Amino acid sequence: MLFPRLTHPRAYVGAAALLTLLVAPLLINSPFVFHLAVQVCIFGALATAWNIVGGYAGQLSLGHAVFYAIGSYVATMLVIHFGLSPWIGMFGGAAVAVVASLVIAYPTLRLRGPFFALATIAFLEVCRLLVAHFEDVTGGSAGLNVPLNIGLKWMIFREKWAYLAIAFGFLAITLWFSWIIRYSRFGFYLIAVREREDAARAVGVNAVNVKIAAAVISAALTSILGSFHAMYLTFLEPSAAFSLELSIQIAMFALIGGLGTVAGPLLGTILVLPAAELSRGWLSALGNGTHGFVYGVVLVLVVLFFPRGLVGHLGGRALALIDRLPGARGVSPQVPRARAVAVPAERAMQGKPLLVAEGLRKRFGGLLATDNVSLTLHQGEILGVIGPNGAGKTTVFNQLSGFIAPDSGTVKVRQANGEWVHPTSPEAFAQNGVGRTFQIVQPFSGLSVRENIMLGAFMRTKNAEEAAAIAREVAELTDLTSLLEHEARGLTVGGMKRLEVARALATGPKVLLLDEVLAGLNPTDVTRAIEMIRKIRDSGVSVLMIEHLMQATLALSDRIIVINAGKLLREGRPADVVNDPAVIEAYLGKGYLDAQAA
């Protein structure tokens, strides 16, 4: 979706708000108001660019001003030393910023934790020292003066309205980029990684790549904005450009307005920046840094009363009112209906192996968690895996889905053409037809039920409308149709379990791995889940399930495998397995058998 639907009232409201920012200074015709409007546009765009990596992807960049400064300095030095127009120089700055972001992001975003944030701060300080050291090229600590060549080519004007027009254009472009990303497959992937990285990988998302891509896009946009701001200020100084305070200020605007929203960063800027600038002018006699007090007060109030940001708390109500306006309910575009799950045509492979594990061994220190475990799941089969607590079932399950690499042994998956593949990562397993759920449910709680299921469907299509169509079909199969527009965080335990199954089904798997999907459910939800699993098997998806609810496992499974102490203890039909003395002993102990014999 390159543009919001222009006939929707939301488009009119958004356009009116932006045009107000452009027209109001023209009507007032005050130099200070023009300056304030330019600053709002620039910092609103900077906060929006920061929000791509900090809000959508959830990767805190506390040294983000380094990309702003790179754009400023590169464009200015190209003007001074080579006579290049800043319209060209800004793209040179963006290229340097992209390289810098890769240097920071490539190693740090492969790790979880504060490493990316710390690396951006360290890189910011290193760049500041380098700029101060190379005086002949960068001007050193004294800074650089931008040549005052008047004209559009040099981005230098006598009239403030010209600066405002360009700043407004950059703001509109940045918001457009943010809109595209948020409502594209890439945006859904970013939010999924931010919410629950393991669950995102289970639906085929390469978490590292999407985080790096977000960092690169954000750095490039920030650098371009820095290039224009340098032309506007006409002076660069290292301590101001490479400023930790500037980085925190940009992030704070996004936090106040609402992280991960399109309009939030701009709203936060409009709310805070004018108040801070006015207080700087009115209260400057009381001491330097008075505007920082304004930032602090607003931030404390927002954290206390609006922890999800202004848009996060108030946006839903405002959008609901807008959606009631005439024209809000348009005709949905017709898209081809895609099959939600595997098609019955694959029944030709009925009985053939689909998922095969051979000789799986995994040791955690001195504990041998799995010891030479082998199993086979066939087409059209429900295979139950049971065993006492601590037997190693979950470790086996994680090896079958790529979340744990076995020390020895192999896992292979049959493809539609009959060839076997050996995936090695969760996303590779998902892309080769293996879907899974988690023992502790992992919904993307900030998204709706429909958007959660769409995240699985995006592995099969890039089109959001087609993904929504798949989500509706899967919702029918998993009894979630009436809950599609509800937030995932508001579902019952049974609803969340079904949602996780639906998300895995939307990927179009041949094999579905269910990890205690019946645990914690009331009798009604258990009955509903059993019926759902049978429907899934009948649709052509083979099921491997770990379950402690024995009665349901016996009723559902075609075969049962028993794991005890990391080893395969027994395999066979349900009736044979549950009556095996070795199985009874594993669950109830030898004393129970002795008592029965007595």
Q: Is the per-residue pLDDT at 340 higher than 90?
A: no
Give me the mean pLDDT over the 217-221 stretch.
Answer: 97
Label residue 318 by pLDDT band (50, 70, 90): low
pLDDT tens digits for 355-369? 999 999 999 988 899
Q: What backbone phi and psi angles, to 5 degrees, belong to 544?
A: -120, 120
> What is the Cα gyration radius of the chain?
29
Q: Average pLDDT of 212-225?
A: 97
Mean pLDDT over residues 112-137, rounded? 91
Distance CA 235, CA 216 (A): 27
Tell me the mean pLDDT in the region 422-443: 93
- Which residue's entry shows tokens 């032309």? 231
pLDDT above 70 as % of the chain:
87
Residue 106 has pLDDT above 70, yes or no: yes
- Per-residue model confidence (pLDDT) at position 331: 41
pLDDT for 313 beyond 80? no
Q: What pLDDT band is residue 387 in, cutting at 50, 70 and 90?
A: confident
Q: Which of 277, 311, 315 is nearest to 42 (CA)?
A: 277
Q: Say if residue 294's pLDDT is above 90.
A: no
Instruction: Write down the H helix ranges in 362-479.
Output: 393-400, 426-431, 449-457, 464-477
**pLDDT (0 to 100) of residue 82:** 92
- Calculate the average pLDDT of the chain: 86
Q: Which two tokens stand for residue 595?
A: 């008592």
Cross-strand partners of 358: 410
Confidence of residue 379 (pLDDT cuts 50, 70, 90): very high
pLDDT for the residue numbered 286: 58
Nearest to 407 by CA among 432, 375, 372, 434: 372
Distance CA(92)–CA(495), nearest Å, equals 51
Residue identified by tokens 């609901």 is 320
User: Percent of the chain at pLDDT above 90?
Assistant: 56
pLDDT mean over 147-167: 92
Range name among 235-249, 321-335, 488-502 with the lowest pLDDT average: 321-335
| pLDDT tens digit sequence for 398-414 | 999 999 999 999 999 99
Indicate if the pLDDT at residue 343 is higher than 50: no
- pLDDT confidence of residue 342: 45
Q: Read off the pLDDT of each residue in 470-492 and give the average, rounded to a whole number.
A: 91
pLDDT of residue 349: 44
Q: How many CB atoms lie within 10 A of CB 409?
A: 16
CATH class of 344-597: alpha beta
Can you tell me the mean pLDDT for 212-218? 97
- Ordered by start, the domain boundaries in the chain are 9-243, 344-597
pLDDT tens track for 259-279 = 888 888 998 898 888 888 777
